Amino acid sequence: MEEQEFTPGLLKLAVLIDADNVPYGSIKGIMEEITKDGIPTIKRIYGDWTKPAMKGWKESLLEYSITPIQQYAWTTGKNATDSALIIDAMDILHREHVEGFCIVSSDSDFTRLASRLRESGKMVIGIGEKKTPKPFITSCNKFIYIEILQKESAVTEDNDSKTPGQTAAAPAKKSGKQADSLLKMDEEIKSLLRSAVDRVSDDAGWANLGDIGNSLRVVKSDFDSRNYGFSKLSGMFKSLNALFETEERPHSSKKKSKAIYVRNKPQ
């Protein structure tokens, strides 16, 4: 089946959160990340809200207008929260007008759900911790690690806490030599990047950075330049000057912005 294309930022999304498998302190970064891909039109979180451990969620639910769905643990050893989330997801699929789903959990029980939603032509974004089993990660169009979002939030809060006139420390940059060393140690990533450029390049070998990013996610749903220390994919390619050429061109639809193109260097 051909992979459907989606327009980031414009999708109507149903956000379904498994409170049993997500730290409540990460919700700010999670919601900010979701808005990069679309508009959260449905926001629900599932758990047993009678448990004292769930009290930490209260302030976040009010701030982000997330609807809590009560699910009692009727039987020991059975995850009723997962079942409730899956049932709601299928109801939304058939009754509501959304283009995508964001499933926030580190639980492999949602693997079949993600696959089913994609079979119905919906964009599926997964957000979970690095302990998330591989089957769930690969069943999503895109998967984002909570640890990356926590790290970004920590940097932002640190900068916001500085007194006026105090200069924020600049993040350390990877030199091209350092980045090349990383790729030499990881042949899989090296091959992944070069293959992605090849798949979407024109006759001259140049490929648009946005198309490269989409191509990477088709092959590896959890690919994220932030996992390798780069805030943007453009910075990653520019640093790898032993492997790639980069070029900025005027954007066809935005007069003041530049489009970035990448080409593999002969090896």
Q: Does a structural domain hold residue 1? A: no
Q: Which of 160, 189, 213 is the last residue of a domain?
A: 160
Domain containing 133 equals 11-160
Give per-residue pLDDT as tens, 43-62.
Answer: 999 998 988 888 889 888 99
Residue 72's pLDDT is: 78
- Please identify which residue in the block is written with the tokens 């995850």: 79
Q: What is the mean pLDDT of the chain?
A: 84
Q: Does a structural domain hold residue 167? A: no
Q: Is the pLDDT of residue 39 over 50?
A: yes
CATH number at residue 153: 3.40.50.1010
Residue 209's pLDDT is: 95
Q: Does a structural domain hold residue 135? A: yes
Residues 156 and 180 in one domain: no
Mean pLDDT, to the nearest integer, of 207-213?
94
Q: Which of 160, 193, 216 is the last residue of a domain?
A: 160
Kindly report the three-state secondary structure assignment for every residue of the chain. CCCCCCCCCCEEEEEEEEHHHCCHHHHHHHHHHHCCCEEEEEEEEEECCCCHHHHHHHHHHHHCCCEEEECCCCCCCCCHHHHHHHHHHHHHHHHCCCCEEEEECCCHHHHHHHHHHHHCCCEEEEEECCCCCHHHHHHCCEEEEHHHHHHHHHHHHHHHCCCCCCCCCCCCCCCHHHHHHHHHHCHHHHHHHHHHHHHHCCCCCCEEHHHHHHHHHHHCCCCCHHHHCCCCHHHHHHHCCCCEEEEEEECCCCCCCEEEEEEECCC
Task: For the full predicted model, state whether its pTM sits above 0.75.
Answer: yes
Mean pLDDT, to the nearest integer, of 232-238?
92
Residues 234 and 146 in one domain: no
